Amino acid sequence: EVQKGIKYTEEQRAAYTEQGGTPFLDMEYTVYGMVVKGLDVVDAIAEVKTGKSDRPSEDVKIKSVRVIK
């Protein structure tokens, strides 16, 4: 399957199907970081209803972040 000029292998398609993700963001956005505490918050954000283009129907605001080096 080809999307945005990127050809995905069967293995890549299986990973998106089994693990989730948004392939239309590939090659345009970098997602990085690690949740050390508060995975329940991440799960709650993942459950937010989305509309067009997978954008949340209501804004999701992050009130605080702590960077640990």
Whole-prediction pTM: 0.52
In a domain, 35, yes or no: yes
pLDDT (tens, 9 = 90+) of the chain, 69 residues, equals 666 678 888 998 888 888 877 777 776 776 777 888 889 998 999 899 998 888 899 999 988 888 888
In a domain, 32, yes or no: yes
C-alpha distances out from residue 64 to 41, 60, 61, Å: 12, 12, 9
In a domain, 25, yes or no: yes
In a domain, 61, yes or no: no
Per the structure, how many domains does the chain have? Answer: 1
Domain that holds residue 46: 2-54
CA dihedral sign of residues 15, 17, 21, 23:
positive
